[in-house]
A and B are shown apart, each in its own frame.
Chain A
């Protein structure tokens, strides 16, 4: 009895220590000082890239669609009418303008908050007509997370007349990088787990992928018509199915396993390209969001490598 109690305590103590180490490690990973320059450059690239991606997209057209198609989803009540065209036009313009002003560092905190809220409306609106698309959902999550970050402490516009010394390295400039990467990890992990839960082993071992590739040839618009060829090669489609699930489940390791990061992140981007090429959905913005994996925290104001 006393031996069991003693060993139970020992296990509890060991678990407590392991948990404490994990928390310390997570805190260090999230909040260790990083230079403001890295986050500022990431801001310029990410928001500038999103502006380029969405600038040509005419969201105003959603204000012209007939109410017969309207089917609002959570969190909107089912009886809410579609938004008027003028509101759609104004908010979508605000979305694009706020992406650009965040990129340029103009009133960055307000711009980033506006980009998140206007993005929630603008990118969420196309899902209120009966079909939920998942291509832009990660971008909205990223914008919401980044709205709380101090993105404009460096490389802001217009430059100050009497420039102060460059902001000191701080945890404020590291956690947004980690949070953005965590958001991307959650997307891939959720997709992998969904396949395991809904399809199980059959997702890989059955001819599911072959049927899916054939189906998408006639119901979607993949870049390539190779689906028919792949569907005729069991070894190939079983291998691709296994690789897909493996990449999605292993992707979050990129957060903690720095050596494997290039392989896992490249695998994630190639997977998104593979979806577009063989299955159809285009995750252009999500693929672009992988810029958050660049080692921004190693950049310092002088251009040398930091911690």
Chain B
């Protein structure tokens, strides 16, 4: 192995170490470099809330869509949840996003790529749980709030109201 190639390899590895160190110190991310910060912030909140997506069948049955059978592919539940949360202040964009999810769900269902039922509409809700480590009910759903809905061919929905005490 030639000396110049040894120096090039060593320099490349030093660069990799330094770049990772930079990510850790600054807390920034330049994918694929990362400080791998997931779960590093200390959890102190007594509650946690998340957006959940539901499908409503033509018969009115609500089905929770969590992407387990590929029905939300390729986004999956967590990416979709974050995207819908980001679009919350923009009903038009949110409706556009739900229309995209609905169209892909139905197209893939028709092609036999997931086993979900046919849907008439989608609904997004914000669910809030109370966390009490060591308590009698350590995880308790305390709030369910309608956030958005989508049905093909209907006008833009209004934001929903909170319904405390599920």
Give me the interface of A with B, judged by CB distance under 8 Å: 26-27, 30-31, 58-59, 61-62, 64-66, 68-69, 71, 73-75, 120, 123-124, 126-127, 129-132, 134, 136-138, 140-141, 144-145, 148, 170-172, 175, 179, 182-183, 186-187, 189-191, 193-195, 197-200, 202-203, 206-208, 210-212, 214-215, 217-221, 228, 231-232, 234, 237, 279, 281
Interface residues of B, count at CB 8 A = 58
Q: Are B36 and A69 in contact (CB under 8 A)?
A: no
Kindly report which residue of chain B lies nearest to residue A215, judged by CB atoms.
B48
B residues in contact with A64, CB < 8 Å? 74, 104
What's the minimum C-beta distance from A50 to chain B, rounded to whole angstroms?
15
What's the minimum C-beta distance from A148 to chain B, rounded to whole angstroms?
7
B residues in contact with A68, CB < 8 Å? 87, 93, 96-97, 100
Q: Are B39 and A279 in contact (CB under 8 A)?
A: yes
Q: Are B9 and A134 in contact (CB under 8 A)?
A: no
Q: Are A179 and B9 in contact (CB under 8 A)?
A: yes
Assess A231 versus B134: contact at CB under 8 Å? Given A129-B75, A199-B40.
Answer: yes
Q: Are A232 and B79 in contact (CB under 8 A)?
A: no
The docked-state distance in angstroms from the alpha carbon of A187 to that of B17 is 10
3 smallest CB-CB distances across A and B, nearest first, come from A66-B100, A210-B133, A61-B74
Q: Are B17 and A203 in contact (CB under 8 A)?
A: no
Q: Are B134 and A234 in contact (CB under 8 A)?
A: yes
Assess A218 versus B139: contact at CB under 8 Å? Given A61-B74, A68-B93, A137-B31.
Answer: yes
Q: Are A186 and B20 in contact (CB under 8 A)?
A: yes
The docked-state distance in angstroms from the alpha carbon of A179 to that of B6 is 13
Q: Which of A170, A202, A214 contacts B1 (CB 8 A)?
A: A170
Q: Which of B66, B78, B93, B104 has the largest number of chain A CB atoms within 10 A? A: B78
Q: Are B74 and A126 in contact (CB under 8 A)?
A: yes
B166 at the interface (CB under 8 A from A): no
Other than the known A69-B100, A215-B129, what 10 A-B pairs have Cβ atoms closer than 8 Å?
Answer: A30-B6, A61-B74, A137-B32, A175-B1, A183-B16, A189-B20, A191-B40, A221-B68, A231-B138, A279-B39
What's the minimum C-beta distance from A166 to chain B, rounded to whole angstroms?
17
* 9 sample A-B contacts, Cβ–Cβ < 8 Å, listed by A number: A30-B9, A59-B74, A61-B74, A134-B34, A175-B9, A183-B16, A191-B36, A203-B42, A232-B133
The docked-state distance in angstroms from the alpha carbon of A214 to that of B104 is 32
Main secondary structure of the interface of B (DSSP, over half): mixed
Q: Are B96 and A66 in contact (CB under 8 A)?
A: yes
What's the minimum C-beta distance from A140 to chain B, rounded to whole angstroms?
4
The docked-state distance in angstroms from the alpha carbon of A120 to that of B33 is 12
B163 at the interface (CB under 8 A from A): no
Kindly report which residue of chain B lies nearest to residue A204, judged by CB atoms.
B42
The docked-state distance in angstroms from the alpha carbon of A219 to that of B49 is 8
What's the minimum C-beta distance from B9 to chain A, rounded to whole angstroms?
5
Q: Are B42 and A199 in contact (CB under 8 A)?
A: yes
B125 at the interface (CB under 8 A from A): no
